[in-house]
Structures are given as structure tokens and as C-alpha cells.
Chain A
Amino acid sequence: MSYITGPEYVRYACTCGLLKSLPNLYFCRHCSQLRCGFCVCPEVDSIFCGKCSENIPSAEAKVKKNKCANCLICPSCQQDLSTRIASKGVVNPDDSKSPAKKTYYLSCYFCGWNSRDVGIPDQTSPTGGWPERENVHSNRLQELLDSYKQIMLSQKQQKENDKKKKFGKFVSYTDRTGITASALRKRIGIPDIPHAMLRKPKLPESSTATTEVEELPDKFFTQEIDLLEVTTIEQRLLQPESQPVTVDKLFPAHKQLSIKKSLRCRHCERNVSKPEYNPNSIKFKIQLFAYYHIPEVRLVKVGDLKRGQPCEIIIKFTNPTQHQTTITILNLDLAEQERYVEEQQMMDISENLEVLSLQFKQPTSLPSLPGSQPSSLLSLPPRQPHLTIKSRKIKQTVNSTVEIPQSVFILPPRDDAAEYDDSNDTHNIEDDSNLVIWRKSNKVCIKLLVNIHEGETIGEEVFCGFTMDHVYTNIIAANFENKQPQKLNHKVRIFLNLGKM
């Protein structure tokens, strides 16, 4: 599987026009289309701690700043810290049977850092109660937070008030009579209290700049620097509130939480990948990788790449599905893709126009209903707008043409047992010997001829491409409607990098 990380010689064109290698693609069974990482919408499924494997609700994670309350990481190398036991004499020295007194300290198995290095006292319980370091700026930060929350609140109120004024000219009878509440108060002689929501938010005390700064100590010029005592950038940024300069001020940090994400097809909004909820599980509930649905193409052999003479290439097809498929090699036909993209764009524009005209006809006359008003600041935003994939033109150009074979070939279904079967079962398939040169269980090698275009110079990379048409058996429809599995022809454009001429 070295090609997963290696250079991508074989790339598939996603529906959106981007080229990706097969393991980087998804296949939506509902749309029967390829989807790449940009054609799916990632969502946070669950939040968990990678060390203690505990699921943490998103609201709680927010409060805890996305850190695990129980797990600590090494301030020196950012790996997980483990608790170690140290026995220190006995609980009761007079009693010979008294159990050994156990204390616990934190230690890193990777770099050897331990909590005793920085003078954190050992604890008597293994679960901790590890001292937290007070943030010297916490008061100031809280003050700022509070006042910005107030500003947000008052602005929101302001907006609502503006809205109200727009719709109903008179908010109350006093307005109609021209006497406002505050004028009324003045007339009666009560001190004027502005409306709670209209009150100006209290601004935080602004920090003051100073021109006097501490002199740089002489030791920076006279003493040799000991890099073992100075912290690295990573170590400082791990503790943004204190940013320790020397290693003796390092303090264990809480472990960052991890997420499990699910991916949704942007077209039909169905999941193409959904992990199991349990943090201990690495399995998926839904896992629609193209690798399991689309025949895999690999370059086996490339002949001499010379201009003016056809070059022979051998490529291998592997059927990953449980259903037999028939493969037809067709022209790449990039012009058709271009047309398709343009059509899509036109459709988009006309749709947008329709939407616009609709909005125009129905001005936002709907007054805000009392029930629909946001009851709190935490009210959820409306559902994310339906984001469709915008197709674009395939950017990759080819400088060689594949001679399209006249015949088609069959790929038998995948059979795990066949791996151990040595009897050369060819499924009695009659092949065009000009095309198919080798066949075993679900794998077929075919021979293609490639003509390099005129005008290409030596040393240039040769790209060729073709459209693979394969019969895809969709079992989803069968499950739903209790029908025979639906067979359809799925086309995908495949680009090959044949190397340098």
C-alpha cells in the first residue's frame, strides 16, 4: 500500500473536478457519485479525551476550554503524564505490620520529566488533586469578559428596539401622547432611571501604557546562556497564561480533547462517514470510502516513452465489491466535462435569480412573531445553509492520447477465499486477447497504447487519461424498496502520470 503515501501516479477526478488518489475519495451511495474532502461537510460527532477515553458533552467541553479535567500532559514534551507510586517509609513507624506509606507523583515516560523536578509535592491519592496554578491575570480577564458580554447584550437589545420602531410607529400610549416615560418621571418628580436594557454598558478600565520599562539585566550580555534552563516556544505556548521562561517554572497542563468527526455528502446531506460513538472504538458505523466501491487502477508497467511511436502501458484493475462489473474504456472527453460545468453554473445563476426575485416579491414584511424571538443569547443559529458543490473544470491537461480499445472486459467479484485458491480459475470468461493479458480472481491486467502528442520535449512528464465506465451495483435501493439490486453505469475520469519522457 505504499502508493497511499507515495507519489500519486493514478488520480481519479472527483465530481467537483479535483483530482485525488482513490484512498482520498468517498463514494456517496445515495447520489452514486464520487466525493472528495471538499465535497463533504465535516461535523463534530463527539468530544472525548484520548487518554481516559471519556466522552464529554460539547457544552461541558466549552466550559473546560476543551481540556480534560483529569488528564495531564508533560509540560516539557507534551506527551501524556503517568502517575507513579513512591513508597516513603511506613504509616506508623512503631507498628512493624503497618502498611507502607504510598505517595504519588507524575512522571513522563518519554522525556523523564517528573513533578518533583519543579517541586510539586507528592500527593496521597493517585487520582490527583494536583495543584492548579493561579492565573495572575484571571481577574482582569473576567472583567473584560463580563463587560464584552454586556456590550453584546445591549447591542442586541438596541437592534430589537430598532426593529420594533420600524414596524409599529407607536410602542406605547405614552409615545402616542408625546410624553415619554422618562419625561413623565421628571414631571412627577421621580429620578429618571433609564431602561435596564438601554443602560450604557460599563466599559472595562483600559490598560495604561508606560514609558518606563525595566532595564535589561546585565547577565544577558555577560553570562553564557544555558539552553537547558530556557524553555522552548512550544513549552511557553502550552501555558499561555504564565509563559514560563525557565524550565523550573513548567507546570503540568491539561490534555487537549479530541473529536470524532462524521462526514456528510453536501449534495444529499447523508453521511458518508460516521464513527462509532464509543471513544474506545476505532470502527465506523458508516464508511463509504471509494476504495470499497470503485475499481482500483494501478500502473504495472510503462514502456519506452518516445514521441512518434505508440507506447505500451499495462494497468491493473481490481474489483473491490461483491458484484461482478463490466468495464469499458472510453475517451477522456474533457470538453464534455467543461460543458457540464458550464451548464451547472448556468443552472446555479438561474436558481439564484429565482430566489432573488422571490425575495423581491415578498419583502421581509413578516413581523417578528413574539414566539420566534430569541429567548436567550444561547439560542441556536438556524440550520446551516444547504451548501452545494460547485463543479469546476478539471485543471489537469494531458499531453498524450490513449487508443481506446474496441472491446470491454469483465471484473469478477471480490472473493477473499480466492487468495488461497491456486487452481487457476478464469471464470470461463472469454477475453479479447489484444486487451486483457492477465487475469486472476477479481484482478485484470490490460494493455493500452498511448500516443504522445507532437511538440512535447524530452524530460517532460507525460500525462494521459481515460474515462472508466463500470457497472455499479447499488444495494441501498434494493434494501429500501425490496427490489433487485439496482445496476447503473458509473463513469469516472482517471489520469495517469507515466513519468518523464
Chain B
Amino acid sequence: MSRNNIKIFSGALVCEGSKLRGDITVGSGTIIHPSATVIAEAGPIVIGENCLIEEQAKIIHRVPFDQQNKENIPILMIGVHNVFEVDCTVEASKIGNNNVFEPKCFVGSRVTVTNGCTIGAGCHITEEQILNENISICGAKCQMREGLDKPAPQNLQMETLLKMLPNYHYIKKPNMKQQV
């Protein structure tokens, strides 16, 4: 990995204390808390709009060992309205929209997350699989359940954070214009 190439669209809020490494694009409206970690180790990461990445959350684009020698590693696309809660570790190869990663959960690099999924607190998902839409995983046994609806977006919380965070933290300046 050569150098950092961070693109932040206007309207995004990336705190100075966060750790961003590699080629990362942050969509407008996304909030990255201080001490959150995003590492684009294997290839670029594109974070969609209105995502919330909380403290100690780790998003790592890592390639599975057996695919290490392959050419053209795909971009890790993260959709819109995803919430990465405190101290979660997400290495999923693809993330859709409206997903919630609850505190201290772990999602391995062989997992594909579609839309509206909830990975419960402390759940470890490592087996190769595609999580269908609106799946929620919870409990010590990682019990799976299919819901009718996607989890409710945390708009109120996002609005408050957009107002509060700049008062207490240095913010990385957006260097890209509004996405069209």
C-alpha cells in the first residue's frame, strides 16, 4: 500500500482523530467518529452516503488468503445508511444499504451483506455466506431471523451528531464537491 488517498465529499463529517488508511472515498452525509478505523488494505473502499461509523469501529478491506494472488481486487462498496456501532469489526467483501453492525460484532471477509441486515452485539460471523435481505442475527448462538422490514434509520441521532461533533473535534475538510 503506497499512500493515503482520502476523498471526502462535502456534507460528510470525518473527525481528525479517525484512522483512515489507503484509498478511501467517503460519501456525503456520512459521519466518522474519532478513533474509528477504516483500512483499505487490499483495495479501495467506497463508503456511501449517510453512514455512521462510531468509535472503535473497524472497517478493513482484506482479501481472503486463497485469493491473495489474484489480480484486480474489487473495490469494497459500502452502501448508504449503514450503521457501524462501537467496537465492531467488519471485513465483509460487500455491504449493501441500511445495515446495522451492533457493538463488538465481527463480520469476516467471506461474508457478503446485502440490505437491511442487523448483526447483533457480540455475534461473530465468519463462514462464507451471503446474508439475505432483512436478516437479523442475535444472541450468543448467533440465531438468525428474517424480518419483514429493514431496521429503522437513526436520522435523529445523525442530525445531533452533525451539530455536536464539530464543536468538540477537529474535522477533516471535504475535498470533493457534492455527489451528483
Give the interface of A toward B (CB within 8 A). Answer: 76-77, 110-114, 116-117, 227-228, 232, 247
> How distant is the Cα of A77 from the Cα of B141 in the complex, in angstroms?
11
> How distant is the Cα of A111 from the Cα of B117 in the complex, in angstroms?
11
List 4 other contacts, CB 8 Å, given A110-B138, A228-B146.
Answer: A111-B136, A227-B144, A228-B135, A228-B144
> How distant is the Cα of A76 from the Cα of B136 in the complex, in angstroms?
11
Q: Does B145 reach chain A (CB closer than 8 Å)?
A: yes
> How distant is the Cα of A117 from the Cα of B120 in the complex, in angstroms?
19
Q: Are A232 and B143 touching (Cβ within 8 A)? A: yes
| Total interface residues in chain B, CB < 8 Å | 13
Output the least CB separation between A76 and chain B (Å).
6
Chain A residue with the shortest CB-CB distance to B151:
A112
Give the interface of B toward A (CB within 8 A). Answer: 118, 120, 135-136, 138-139, 143-148, 151
> How distant is the Cα of A228 from the Cα of B134 in the complex, in angstroms?
12
> How distant is the Cα of A139 from the Cα of B120 in the complex, in angstroms?
42
Q: Give every chain A residue within 8 A of B147 (Cβ-Cβ).
A: 112-114, 117
Q: Are A112 and B118 touching (Cβ within 8 A)? A: yes
Which of B118, B143, B146 lies in contact with A77, CB distance below 8 A? B143
Chain A residue with the shortest CB-CB distance to B100:
A112
Q: Give every chain B residue within 8 A of A117 (Cβ-Cβ).
A: 147-148
Output the least CB separation between B30 and chain A (Å).
24
Report the number of A-B residue pairs with Cβ-Cβ less than 8 Å. 34
Q: Are A110 and B146 touching (Cβ within 8 A)? A: no
B-side interface mostly: strand
Q: Are B145 and A247 touching (Cβ within 8 A)? A: yes
Q: Are A111 and B148 touching (Cβ within 8 A)? A: no
Q: Give every chain A residue within 8 A of B136 (Cβ-Cβ).
A: 111-112
Chain A residue with the shortest CB-CB distance to B139:
A77
> How distant is the Cα of A113 from the Cα of B148 in the complex, in angstroms?
9
Q: Are B138 and A77 touching (Cβ within 8 A)? A: yes
Q: Are B148 and A228 touching (Cβ within 8 A)? A: no
Q: What would be 8 A-B contacts, judged by CB atoms less than 8 Å apart?
A: A77-B143, A111-B136, A111-B139, A112-B145, A112-B151, A117-B147, A117-B148, A247-B145
Chain B residue with the shortest CB-CB distance to A226:
B146
> How distant is the Cα of A232 from the Cα of B151 in the complex, in angstroms?
23
Q: Give every chain A residue within 8 A of B146 (Cβ-Cβ).
A: 228
Q: Give every chain B residue within 8 A of A113 (Cβ-Cβ).
A: 145, 147
Q: Are A116 and B148 touching (Cβ within 8 A)? A: yes
The 3 closest A-B pairs by CB, nearest first: A111-B138, A112-B136, A228-B146
Q: Are B151 and A111 touching (Cβ within 8 A)? A: no
Output the least CB separation between A32 and chain B (Å).
43
Q: Are B139 and A228 touching (Cβ within 8 A)? A: no
Output the least CB separation between A461 and chain B (Å).
32
Most chain A CB within 10 A, of B138, B143, B147, is at B138
> How distant is the Cα of A227 from the Cα of B143 in the complex, in angstroms?
10
Chain B residue with the shortest CB-CB distance to A232:
B143
Q: Give every chain B residue within 8 A of A77 (Cβ-Cβ).
A: 138-139, 143
Q: Give every chain A residue within 8 A of B144 (Cβ-Cβ).
A: 227-228
Q: Are A228 and B145 touching (Cβ within 8 A)? A: yes
Q: Give every chain B residue within 8 A of A111 (Cβ-Cβ).
A: 120, 136, 138-139, 143, 145
